[in-house]
Amino acid sequence: MAEWEFTRGAPPLRPPIVFDQQWRNVSFLHWPVEPSTITHLFPPGCRPDVVEGRSYVGLVPFHLRHAGLGRAGRIPYFGSFAETNIRLYSVDDAGRHGVVFCSLDTERLAIVPLARLLFGVPYTWSRMRVHEQAGGIWRYEARRRWPRRGLASTVSIRVTGPVEPTPLEQWLTARWGLHAVIRGRTRWVPNAHDPWPLHQAEVLELRDDLLAASGVAPTGDQLRALWSPGVRARFGRPVALD
């Protein structure tokens, strides 16, 4: 069980807090991938995180709410939006387990250059919609505006009862930072949040161009889908890898 222990709680986040936000109505869809096929997508100094010989790719649509910069407080209007991420799982030589983003689609154009500058992550601009339907159904829609206009993603899931995550699901969802190239250097951006309250979800519809566009090819069946009402997350200062 030692390889799972890092997921049990977020390490203490050293001040200052750079970014504060809420992740709401989050769906997690995952597939296994062969680690050797994705190594080229990782920044220098980190590599695919592997468990039992496999790494994974995630399709994660959600609402981002009440984002704020440092002590400035919440950002009106621009601090709340829909988002869909394609993400991989990373580890560096210091043993920090995080994520690497292939793409992050957002409906707020103004967020794209700001997030690329501050966090070095590949935000893109899309037309998006997240809405709840009767019977515990959540539907996420995205159509890319820039770059690679026209790429689309539609996910519809039905939320069922709460579940205890398996060790693998904890490994996938409890990630305490990201690796990204910021100002020419690979950096670790730490974050902290409470454990995810997770529910099992049934996929009713999945039509997605974003995963294929990332260049990542799954090598096995999709894992069970998960959904969460969300958590509050805080980000610390980026740290350069040695």
Give the pLDDT confidence score for residue 67 in this predicted structure: 78
Whole-model pTM: value is: 0.94
Rounded CA gap, 67 and 41, in Å? 28
- Tell me which residue of 64, 112, 55, 113 sits closest to 84, measured CA to CA: 64
Burial 84-117 (b: 16+ CB within 10 A, else e): bbbbbbbbbeeebbbbbbbbbbbbbeebbeebbe
Report how far residue 69's alpha carbon sits from residue 111's, in angstroms, rounded to the nearest whole number: 12
What local confidence, expressed as pLDDT, does residue 77 receive? Answer: 47
What's the mean pLDDT when you consider all of the chain? Answer: 92
Q: Give the number of other CB atoms < 10 A from CB of residue 233.
A: 19
The per-residue pLDDT for range 132-156, each reduced to its tens digit, is: 999 999 999 999 999 999 999 999 9
The ranges assigned to domains in the chain are 16-126+166-200+211-240
pLDDT at 91 (0 to 100): 97
Contact 46, 179 (CB under 8 A): yes
16-126+166-200+211-240: CATH superfamily: Acetoacetate decarboxylase-like (2.40.400.10)
Count Cβ neighbours within 10 Å for each residue of 40-49 and write b for 16 or more, e otherwise: ebbbebbbbb
